[in-house]
Amino acid sequence: MKNWSKKIYLELPIPSEEDHRPLQVRLTAALEDSGPFRLEEKAAYIRMRPAALRDAQEICVQSGFCVTATVGFDGWGWELLKIEPGDTTASHYGLCADLGSTTILMQLADLNTGEVLDTESIFNPQINWGEDILSRIFYTKDRPDHRRRLQAATAEGLQTLMEKLKEKTGIDTFSCPVLAVSGNTTMIHFLMGLDAFGVFQSPYAVQTLAPDVCRAEELGIPMNGFVCCCPGMENYLGGDIISGMLATGIPDHEEISVFLDVGTNGELVVGNKDFLLAGAGAAGPALEGGVVHTGMRAEEGAVDRVVTEKGQLKIHVIGEGKAKGICGSGIVDLIAELYLNGWIDLRGKYQEEVPEVVRVPVRDEDETELAVEYAPGLYFYQDDIDEFLKTKAAAMTMVEYMMGLIGLTMEDVGRFYVAGAFGTHLNKESAVTIGLYPDIDRDKIISPGNTSLQGARELLLDRSLMEKAKEIIDRMQYVQFGAVEDFLHLMVAATAIPHTDMQRYPSVVRRLEERRKNC
Amino acid sequence: MKNWSKKIYLELPIPSEEDHRPLQVRLTAALEDSGPFRLEEKAAYIRMRPAALRDAQEICVQSGFCVTATVGFDGWGWELLKIEPGDTTASHYGLCADLGSTTILMQLADLNTGEVLDTESIFNPQINWGEDILSRIFYTKDRPDHRRRLQAATAEGLQTLMEKLKEKTGIDTFSCPVLAVSGNTTMIHFLMGLDAFGVFQSPYAVQTLAPDVCRAEELGIPMNGFVCCCPGMENYLGGDIISGMLATGIPDHEEISVFLDVGTNGELVVGNKDFLLAGAGAAGPALEGGVVHTGMRAEEGAVDRVVTEKGQLKIHVIGEGKAKGICGSGIVDLIAELYLNGWIDLRGKYQEEVPEVVRVPVRDEDETELAVEYAPGLYFYQDDIDEFLKTKAAAMTMVEYMMGLIGLTMEDVGRFYVAGAFGTHLNKESAVTIGLYPDIDRDKIISPGNTSLQGARELLLDRSLMEKAKEIIDRMQYVQFGAVEDFLHLMVAATAIPHTDMQRYPSVVRRLEERRKNC
């Protein structure tokens, strides 16, 4: 493991007539001669900026020249960041963050032990300039001033998290020597203050996929240290996914894994130590409840669980209060129950003869639509189902298509990862029932949680993962789904619940039979 | 010659579906493939900070991807500083400065041709916090706030010079990629905002003698480029003297040179390509008129020339107006004339019997002293002479002692350099007459002018001189005069005019005889 920063206790020789070397020389010699630089790695250089030298002397004199130096890796060599009196090597902390378009998470880790001390999250302040990522991209297009605004908001978000972590732990997060960030390509552009329009528009040439390590101050983050970002592979396959590869270890394993990240976008990796295929598609918002009339985030008031008891839908509401809408996991449960109860057919169409299926006006319109009242006053409409199934079909078709490219079927899959909050909260059985997950051994279906943050933490603890990430990117082959001819054909088949080919879903067939027996 | 900055014209491939590499990759590849980095030197790295990348895209698009990149050397590798539309390689300018304790000089040079376009100077704004360097050192001792104030004043001084140069030449000096600075150790400490007390007090351990290259912004200089400082050798033998070595080429020559820099301090180097001895002593202020009652800088109103015509002193006043005082060159002329006229003896004592020698009250005191009225109402007192002779003795003894160390006499000297404004304005004959210069072939006595600035310019044009400077420093042997036992003895002999050993000054003996014949 190679670290981004070192804290090194030095007992410097006290200046005398015989040894009156300048402080800079004295410090450099002592650092180069210290264990970390003799035993772990040779420093290409140890840069000392005027500001670092300024504080050094007084602290050296005050402490009898027994000091702890903090050095940080700048991408190519080392820089002296700080001199503290006495031996403070026991306090060595670092930060990592998942810069999501909706939520930013940050963790404080003990760099001596690797232990996570606390995790905090906030909504991404960029939301003020656009709920979705695309409207933010348009907001900043051709507007350097708007880019600066979004950049500053991003930096402020990170700063807020640092303050929260400081408050919680009592550790001065602003003196951390390193912050490792992973985020998708657009988020990294916004963090750096770069124009992200290339992410979205042909020929999809972005500004950077692997920004150089930079000083936090350059990004307006008042931290005396460096920011490193997990590199990305493509405009739609960013550092958050590569970070997920570091977190899951997929590129090192013998067994074949499927890695699906459902967020604002849907990203997919299939591979093992011998091959890595990756692709991305617009899968996200619908699955997270974005296009559903009463859809909402998984927060207080959201229906997140639906079951059928005695032929009746029973819901669970986050916060146990009144239901205000439905989130992703609730939608998956609901559609699964509608299907198992026979209220919708395998094409997802409401069955008019079912008494619970009612025809109601669609909000704000004269039209009516079939729907089910899943909670008092809250309807799930036919077009909610249609939209959702189209999206789940897109996601599953990506997987199927990619597997097919190399002649694999779901039986070859050793692990099926569903990353992110979506995967964590989803009921596996419901997800299999509607064909969002394949019908495989449930133990193989893994919800690893926020792999972007986990990968950022790994990167924080071991800077050699920066090289590893670049190797992964070099090995990865990007699959363009848009260019695929039979993709649409495959997708139509996947729009059914769980799929037009029921043989692929034997457990769903069994559940259907059981449910009918019970009725 | 290795440059600090390169301007490279690039015709970047325009992004397409086939080649949609990120801009950072596109730029780095094109730079690495360009002549300067293929033919001159391989770049260890080309760092791109967020700020540099931010501007790059718009300029690339506007200019059809035909741009000029400016890269600067950061001490170990390269950094992209700027992207401009079109081919601007013809405009490539750099700055160099001599950071003197009294005066700061700055030059603007064309980095393509090496031509100097303009030179400007100002008084060092640090003067507001102390006329002499020692009071500034005390002002900043244990006071980080005072250090910050002096640092800011120094940066503002440099900025003022940049503005002046910009006004004069129309060239945007603030976008120069490099500023090379030479100054004595204290000045470099003040520029960096460092505590300079170690320069002055035992054990003479300073903060740095060779600061790392840093961004100008880190010093509060609003320039998009790097600042490099000529390294120094010792607390009293700073980068200004090493710069002088670069300017004169003494360390490369076969012939033996003496290099004497009379400024606030007196610094001395004796050597050639085989050896280099260096030393320093408190020689300066007196020679520059600092301790003379009516002494002043060489500015309007200063007597800068004194001759004897028909037994009467004739003076020249800078600006041709009324005399306000006397500067260094005037003092040397005056003492020489006093001696040649027989108004003072070889010990520098006024001869009471000479009618021009009068007894007058010493300013603000009841005491009286012998003096000469060298200009209306301006007296040159006995103690002015005494002080001056002590200082000239110190300077000459340094030379003599150092020559003696390696068994050399003045006859072995190929070149006798007297650097700085003092040397430039001094009348050689007068200086020989009073024994400030040795009595050697006048062609061997060279007044090279401001070698600190000249060396800074050489450094600006060729960064490999940074290595050369360090080699010179490694070769140099520092001679501590304070520790020398027979130094005082030698000095007493040198206090005479020109010296107690008149055989060393045959031309002075001749001049004396001539003058007496004429009387």
* CATH number of the domain that residue B190 is part of: 3.30.420.480
Q: Which residues of B touch A192 (CB under 8 A)?
A: 50, 53-54
Q: Is the Cβ of B202 closer than 8 Å to some Cβ of chain A?
A: yes
Mean pLDDT, all residues of chain B? 92
Distances (CA, A) of A488 to A306, A387, A390, B98, B493: 31, 15, 11, 72, 105
Closest chain A residue by Cα to residue B79: A212
Q: Is the Cβ of B193 closer than 8 Å to some Cβ of chain A?
A: yes
Residue pair B86/B63 in contact by the 8 Å Cβ criterion: yes
Q: What is the band of A65 on the pLDDT scale with cuts at 50, 70, 90?
A: very high
pLDDT at B242: 98
- List all residues 6 or more positions away from A143 whose beta carbon is below 8 Å from its beta carbon: none
Q: What is the band of B480 on the pLDDT scale with cuts at 50, 70, 90?
A: confident
Contact A206 B48 (CB under 8 A): no
Of B293, B500, B493, B286, give the one whose Cα is nearest residue B387.
B286
A17, A147, A202: residue with CB nearest B202: A17
Q: Which domain holds residue B188?
A: 93-229
Of A70, A214, A71, give the one whose Cα is nearest residue B80.
A214
Q: Which of B212, B215, B218, B466 to mutate to test the interface with A (most CBs of A within 10 A)?
A: B212
CA–CA distance, B235 with B254 (Å, rounded to integer): 28
- List all residues 6 or more positions away from A154 whose beta carbon is below 8 Å from its beta carbon: A99, A124, A125, A126, A187, A190, A191
pLDDT at A282: 64
Q: Residue A117 pLDDT > 90, yes or no?
A: yes
Q: Which of B54, B137, B474 to mutate to test the interface with A (most CBs of A within 10 A)?
A: B54
A322 and A280 in a common domain? no
Of B103, B126, B309, B97, give the one whose Cα is nearest residue B216.
B97
DSSP designation for B37: I
How do residues B160-184 score in pLDDT, each as one tens digit?
Answer: 999 999 999 999 999 999 999 999 9
Q: Which residues of A touch B144 (CB under 8 A)?
A: 54, 58
Domain boundary among A17, A52, A85: A85
B279 and B198 in a common domain? no
Q: Which of B58, B194, B200 to mutate to test the interface with A (most CBs of A within 10 A)?
A: B194
Q: Is the Cβ of A15 closer than 8 Å to some Cβ of chain B?
A: yes
Q: Which residues of A touch B25 (CB under 8 A)?
A: 208-209
Tell which A residues from 312 to 351 touch B, by Cβ distance under 8 Å: none
How do residues B249-268 score in pLDDT, each as one tens digit?
Answer: 999 999 999 999 876 678 99
Q: What is the band of B244 on the pLDDT scale with cuts at 50, 70, 90?
A: very high
Write the CATH number for A394: 3.30.420
Of A401, A404, A405, A400, give the one whose Cα is nearest residue A439.
A400
Render B395-452 in DSSP notation, one character per residue.
HHHHHHHHHHHTT--GGGEEEEEEEHHHHHHS-HHHHHHTTSS-SS-GGGEEEEE-HH
Classify A417 as helix, strand or coil. strand
List the structure tokens of A47.
Answer: 């840069």
pLDDT at B127: 95
A402 and A372 in a common domain? no
Q: Which of B47, B53, B215 to mutate to test the interface with A (most CBs of A within 10 A)?
A: B53
Contact B208 A23 (CB under 8 A): yes
- List all residues 6 or more positions away from B329 whose beta carbon is below 8 Å from its beta carbon: B298, B304, B305, B422, B425, B426, B427
Contact B50 A218 (CB under 8 A): yes
Pairing of strands B66-73, B103-110: unpaired
Domain assignment present for residue A237? The answer is: no
CA–CA distance, B472 with B275 (Å, rounded to integer): 10
Q: Which residues of B touch A58 (CB under 8 A)?
A: 144, 195
CA–CA distance, B460 with B190 (Å, rounded to integer): 21
Domain assignment present for residue A239? The answer is: no
Task: Quote the minimal CA–CA distance from B367 to chain A in Å.
Answer: 43
Question: A286 or A208: which carries more pLDDT confidence?
Answer: A208
Q: Which residues of A touch B77 (CB under 8 A)?
A: 76
A500 and A392 in a common domain? yes
Q: What is the band of B289 on the pLDDT scale with cuts at 50, 70, 90?
A: low
Q: Residue B421 pLDDT > 90, yes or no?
A: no
Tell which B residues from 418 to 477 touch A, by Cβ distance under 8 Å: none
Closest chain A residue by Cα to residue B205: A20
Write the CATH number for A21: 3.10.20.880
CA–CA distance, B316 with B306 (Å, rounded to integer): 6
B298 and B278 in a common domain? yes
Q: What is the band of A484 on the pLDDT scale with cuts at 50, 70, 90?
A: low
Domain boundary among A33, A68, A85: A85
pLDDT at A1: 80
CA–CA distance, A278 with A402 (Å, rounded to integer): 8
Element (H, E) at A285: helix A284-287
Tell which B residues from 137 to 166 touch A, by Cβ distance under 8 Å: 144, 147
Estimate the share of chain A in helix, then strand, then coil, as percent rounded to the nearest 5: 40, 25, 35
A434 and A369 in a common domain? no
Q: Residue B465 pLDDT > 90, yes or no?
A: yes
How do residues A154-199 score in pLDDT, each as one tens digit?
Answer: 999 999 999 999 999 999 999 999 999 999 999 999 999 999 999 9
Contact A15 B214 (CB under 8 A): no
Contact B45 A193 (CB under 8 A): no
Question: Which range, of A275-289, B318-332, B416-430, averages the lowest pLDDT?
Answer: A275-289
Q: Cis link prior to A203 (omega < 30° from 0)?
A: yes
Please give the average per-residue pLDDT across A494-514, as a whole number: 90
pLDDT at B489: 77
How do residues A265-312 score in pLDDT, each as one tens digit?
Answer: 789 999 999 999 999 876 545 555 567 889 998 889 999 999 999 999
Render B97-145 in DSSP notation, one character per residue.
EEE-SSEEEEEEEETTT--EEEEEEEE-GGGGG-SSHHHHHHHHTT-HH
Question: B479 or B317: which carries more pLDDT confidence?
Answer: B317
A45, A53, A144: residue with CB nearest B208: A53
Closest chain A residue by Cα to residue B75: A47
Contact B195 A53 (CB under 8 A): no
pLDDT at B395: 84
Domain assignment present for residue B498? The answer is: yes
B71 and B149 in a common domain? no
Pairing of strands A226-229, A178-183: parallel
Question: Which range, of A119-123, B243-247, B407-411, averages the lowest pLDDT?
Answer: B407-411
Domain assignment present for residue A209? The answer is: yes
B120 and B46 in a common domain? no
Burial B459-488 (b: 16+ CB within 10 A, else e): bbbbbebbebbeebbebbeebebeebeebe
Domain boundary among B166, B199, B229: B229
Contact B50 A211 (CB under 8 A): yes
A494 and A425 in a common domain? yes
Contact A202 B17 (CB under 8 A): yes
Domain assignment present for residue A291? The answer is: no
pLDDT at B483: 60
pLDDT at A85: 97
Domain assignment present for residue B241? The answer is: no
Q: Which residues of A touch B206 (CB under 8 A)?
A: 22-23
How do residues A316-358 score in pLDDT, each as one tens digit?
Answer: 999 999 999 999 899 999 999 999 999 999 999 999 999 999 9
CA–CA distance, B111 with B105 (Å, rounded to integer): 18
Q: Residue B60 pLDDT > 90, yes or no?
A: yes
DSSP designation for B38: I
Mean pLDDT, all residues of chain A? 92
Of B488, B23, B503, B475, give the one whose Cα is nearest residue B269.
B475
pLDDT at B484: 63
pLDDT at B400: 87
Q: What count of other Cβ atoms lies within 10 Å of the Cβ of residue A17?
A: 9
Q: Label residue A120 left, alpha or beta by phi (over 0 means left) and psi (-120 to 50 means alpha).
A: beta
Please give the average per-residue pLDDT across A369-374, as a whole number: 95
Number of domains in chain B: 3
% residues pLDDT > 70 (chain B): 96
pLDDT at B286: 53
Classify A54 as helix, strand or coil. helix
List the structure tokens of B507.
Answer: 């031309």
How do residues B338-363 score in pLDDT, each as one tens digit?
Answer: 999 999 999 999 999 999 999 998 86
Contact A50 B206 (CB under 8 A): no
Contact A48 B75 (CB under 8 A): no
List the structure tokens of A146.
Answer: 């708007």
B253 and B152 in a common domain? no
Q: Which residues of B touch A193 (CB under 8 A)?
A: 50-51, 54
Task: Quote the minimal CA–CA distance from A46 to chain B in Å.
Answer: 10
Angle A367-A368-A369 (CA atoms, 0-180°, nearest 5)? Answer: 130
Domain assignment present for residue B485? The answer is: yes
Which residue in the block uniquely carries the two structure tokens 């200046």? A15
Size of interface A-B (CB pairs under 8 A): 140
A24, A49, A205: residue with CB nearest B218: A49
Please give the average per-residue pLDDT across B469-473, as a whole number: 98
Q: Residue B190 pLDDT > 80, yes or no?
A: yes
Paired with B66 in beta bridges are B11
B349 and B266 in a common domain? yes
Paired with A151 in beta bridges are none
Beta strands in B282-437 (DSSP E): 302-309, 312-317, 325-326, 358-361, 368-375, 378-381, 413-419
pLDDT at A284: 47
Q: What count of other Cβ atoms lies within 10 Å of the Cβ of residue A56?
A: 24
Q: Which residues of A touch B195 (CB under 8 A)?
A: 57-58
Pairing of strands B312-317, B358-361: unpaired
Q: What is the band of B284 on the pLDDT scale with cuts at 50, 70, 90?
A: very low
pLDDT at A264: 64
Q: Is the Cβ of B192 closer than 8 Å to some Cβ of chain A?
A: yes
Q: Is the Cβ of B247 closer than 8 Å to some Cβ of chain A?
A: no
This complex has an ipTM of: 0.91
Residue pair B87/B68 in contact by the 8 Å Cβ criterion: yes
Classify B392 as helix, strand or coil. helix
Pairing of strands A276-281, A266-271: antiparallel
pLDDT at A487: 73
Task: Quote the minimal CA–CA distance from A192 to chain B in Å.
Answer: 6
CA–CA distance, A346 with A339 (Å, rounded to integer): 7
- Dihedrals phi, psi of B390, to nearest 5 degrees: -60, -45
Q: Which residues of A touch B227 (CB under 8 A)?
A: none
pLDDT at A420: 85
Residue pair B246/A63 in contact by the 8 Å Cβ criterion: no
Q: Residue B283 pLDDT > 60, yes or no?
A: no
Tell which A residues from 26 to 55 touch B, by Cβ distance under 8 Å: 26, 44-45, 47-51, 53-54
Closest chain B residue by Cα to residue A209: B22
Question: Which range, of A56-60, A112-116, A158-162, B315-319, averages the lowest pLDDT?
Answer: A56-60
How do residues B373-400 score in pLDDT, each as one tens digit?
Answer: 999 999 999 999 998 898 888 888 888 8
pLDDT at A443: 96
Domain assignment present for residue B488? The answer is: yes
% residues pLDDT > 90 (chain A): 76
Residue pair B276/B269 in contact by the 8 Å Cβ criterion: yes
CA–CA distance, B408 with A518 (Å, rounded to integer): 116
A217 and A98 in a common domain? yes
Contact B192 A45 (CB under 8 A): no
CA–CA distance, A480 with B18 (Å, rounded to integer): 13
